[in-house]
Structure 1
Amino acid sequence: MLGMFPLLIVPFLLFNLGLAGLFGGTAEDPFSAELFSVYMMSGGVWTMSVGDLLIVLSLVLLFAEMLKSTRSSNASIVDHLLSTFVFVAFLVEFLLVRGAAHPVFFTLMVAALVDLLAGFSVTIRSVGRDVNVG
């Protein structure tokens, strides 16, 4: 049952918690709060913000979703359906909620779209290999 859970719902929920003001940051951009910075050997400074961390988390979860999409079972159908709902939730919130008009949210929405398209593509490709004609 847990394998059918769409992992990209986690960044969606975390973004909405950030909009609720639970991450700190400034009033207009809660995802700009700096988590840490590292002084590089080049003399530059690399900083990690809440928004950057959320994008990195979504990329890791997207990789896990791609691995999940390679299995062929009845659970994969439910997983694709739930992934579709997650993308639709991203899209509706992006279009209707003022706080979702943010580059971090858009990037998360694109990750959900890639998950949706890749999941269907991998499943269709693997099902085509499972069918024997003859």
Structure 2
Amino acid sequence: MLAALPLMIIPFVLYNLAMLGTMGGGGVASLENVVISLRMLSGAEWTMTLGDVLIVVALLFLFVEILKASRNGRGSLFNHMLSMLTFVGYLTEFLLVKDAATQIFFILMIIAFIDVIGGFAVAIRSAGRDVSIGL
């Protein structure tokens, strides 16, 4: 049953923790805290903020979710329903919560939407291959 849990809920929770100020203090401003800064060979300074890390984590979870969608089992339909509810949670928070109206949260919401659409598309495609017609 734990395999049916949509992984896109993790970036959602992490964003809300940052919004509440429990991840480095400062609320949404903490998402702009620099996590890593590297000097490139070109001399440019490359930085990655906490918000950027959240997006990368969400993309990694999206990859795992698409892989999970290719399995046909009892939990796959439940996973799709929970993924849809997760996206609805993202959308509701984006529309109703002032601190969620950021570019980072919008990108996370779009990744959750791609998870829903991609999961359904992959599941339908792989289910079509499982159908065999006897002659």
Per-residue CA deviations over 1:10-64 (Å, capped at 9, x if unaligned) read 0000000000012236556221011120000000000011000100100111101
Q: Does 1:24 align with 2:31?
A: no
Alignment of 1:1-134 (within 5 A): 1-24=1-24, 26=26, 29-134=29-134
Alpha-carbon offset, residue 133 of structure 1: 2.7
CA distance in 2: counterparts of 1:55 and 1:42, whole angstroms: 25
Q: 1:25 to 1:36 in 2, by over 3 A?
A: farther
CA distance in 1: counterparts of 2:36 and 2:86, whole angstroms: 30
Per-residue CA deviations over 1:104-131 (Å, capped at 9, x if unaligned) read 1001000100000010001111111111
How many aligned positions are there? 134
Normalising by structure 2, we get a TM-score of 0.94
Structure 1: which 5+ runs fail to align?
Answer: none
CA distance in 2: counterparts of 1:74 and 1:2, whole angstroms: 12
Normalising by structure 1, we get a TM-score of 0.95
1:110 aligned counterpart, secondary structure: helix
